[in-house]
Amino acid sequence: MIEAIACAKVNFSLRIGPVQENGLHRIGGRFQSISWIDRLEVGWADEDSLASMSGGPVIAGKNNLVWRAATLVRTEAESDRPVRISLGKSIPSAAGLGGGSADGAAALGALGRMFGVDITTQLAGKLGSDVPFCWRGGAADVGGTGGTLQARDVPGGFALALVVPPVELSTAAVFTQWDAMGGPSGSPVTGLDLPPSLRSAEPLVNDLHPAAAAVAPILEDWRRELESSWGRKVLLTGSGPTIYAFFVDSAEAFAALDAIPPGARSAAVAGPVPFGWVARDDADMWSYARLDEPAEELAGRLFDG
């Protein structure tokens, strides 16, 4: 049996450009894997199965990205050998955190090892535009329609407090609204509003923020209230609705979560991590990212936490 962790991602910056020939918008931005994780267990079986670790149904069933990853790997391996997959969800769905894409990437990492398939970033892209980043993980400048990645050093010296307001946002609906609004730009966040490790980069801007707020006005109510109570800028990740702020450390971020209004779908404290997923069995631990000793120790804490 192989177990894996799948890391959520935050869009520190997301700029939107014109629609390309493939029907997707050109994007540019800085993405970061974080320590908010889902869990997977994968093994051989007498018949195919996909189940939730909590005992409930898996979102989208066999259309879930985890199962699509299994189908893709078996097609590449020219095999129909049955597998069982258990999925433990912690990352909220429809929240702008890339949880489904992270799960798909982790499934590729586990199943690729089982079936002897060499998983490439291009192959990962067949599952969706966020999956290439989730496959490689860490920190990266992302361009094109999600498949162009330039690795960056993983920043440190901060923790994130993340809050998911009580609304779900469809990425497609937010992009449609962005087009209808004439392609607005987000407001830049710079200077002392950012941790020192991010101040030398370009300003953090999310062009989807105006569209997400138009689709779900409650989002701005939550953002303004948190900015007031936290005394700092609150940013939107992806198409939302997850909003977040930077804090000095996890203790300060956990204290901030004590001040959030009732009714949030979910909330968490997380930090940047140098991988998008990690898998392990009884003999080995692996990832797309190079796992040096500190990374292995971090992954071990996430597995065992």
109 and 180 part of one domain: no
In this predicted model, which residue has the larger pLDDT, 116 or 54?
116
Q: What is the mean pLDDT of residues 227-256?
A: 97
233 has catalytic annotation:
no
| CATH code of the domain covering residue 30 | 3.30.230.10
Output the pLDDT for position 56: 65
In this predicted model, which residue has the larger pLDDT, 170 or 22?
170
284 and 299 part of one domain: yes
Q: How many CB atoms lie within 10 A of CB 72?
A: 22
Output the pLDDT for position 57: 67
Of 277, 285, 291, 287, the closest CA to residue 34 belongs to 277
- The string of pLDDT tens digits covering residues 260-292 is 999 999 999 999 999 999 999 999 999 999 999
Which residue is associated with the tokens 């586990």? 110
The whole-angstrom separation of Cα 72 and Cα 264 is 36
Q: What is the mean pLDDT of the chain?
A: 94
295 and 223 part of one domain: no
**Quick check: 86 and 56 in contact, CB under 8 A?**
no
Q: What is the mean pLDDT of residues 107-128?
A: 97
Q: Please tell me the least confidently modeled range out of 17-31, 79-93, 180-194.
A: 17-31
Output the pLDDT for position 198: 94
Looking at the chain, list the stretches that DSSP marks H as alpha helix, in order from N- to C-terminal side: 65-77, 99-115, 121-124, 131-136, 171-180, 209-215, 218-230, 250-257, 293-304
102 and 82 part of one domain: yes
Output the pLDDT for position 297: 97
Output the pLDDT for position 61: 73
| CATH code of the domain covering residue 259 | 3.30.70.890
Q: Please tell me the least confidently modeled range out of 51-60, 96-105, 133-142, 195-204.
A: 51-60
The whole-angstrom separation of Cα 263 and Cα 221 is 13
Global confidence as pTM? 0.95
106 and 29 part of one domain: yes
Please determine, for residue 37, whether its predicted confidence score (pLDDT) is greater than 90. yes
| Domain boundaries, position 121 | 2-154+273-304
Question: Per the structure, how many domains does the chain have?
Answer: 2
Which residue is associated with the tokens 């690795």? 151
Output the pLDDT for position 201: 79
Output the pLDDT for position 58: 79
**How does residue 20 score in pLDDT terms, banded at 50, 70 and 90?**
confident
209 and 81 part of one domain: no
Output the pLDDT for position 200: 84
Output the pLDDT for position 202: 85
15 and 101 part of one domain: yes
Q: What is the mean pLDDT of residues 33-59?
A: 91
Please determine, for residue 55, whether its predicted confidence score (pLDDT) is greater than 70. no
114 and 18 part of one domain: yes
Rounded to 10 degrees, what is the CA torsion of 275, 280, 285, 288?
-40
**How does residue 62 score in pLDDT terms, banded at 50, 70 and 90?**
confident
9 has catalytic annotation:
yes
Catalytic position from the list 38, 103, 130, 207: 130
228 and 240 part of one domain: yes
Q: What is the mean pLDDT of residues 57-78?
A: 89
Question: What b-and-e string marks burial along 264-294, b requiring 16 or more CB atoms within 10 Å of the CB?
Answer: bbbbbbbbbbbbbbbbbbeeeebbbbebeee
Q: What is the mean pLDDT of residues 24-28?
A: 86
145 and 226 part of one domain: no
**Quick check: 131 and 101 in contact, CB under 8 A?**
yes
114 and 259 part of one domain: no
Output the pLDDT for position 267: 98
189 and 115 part of one domain: no
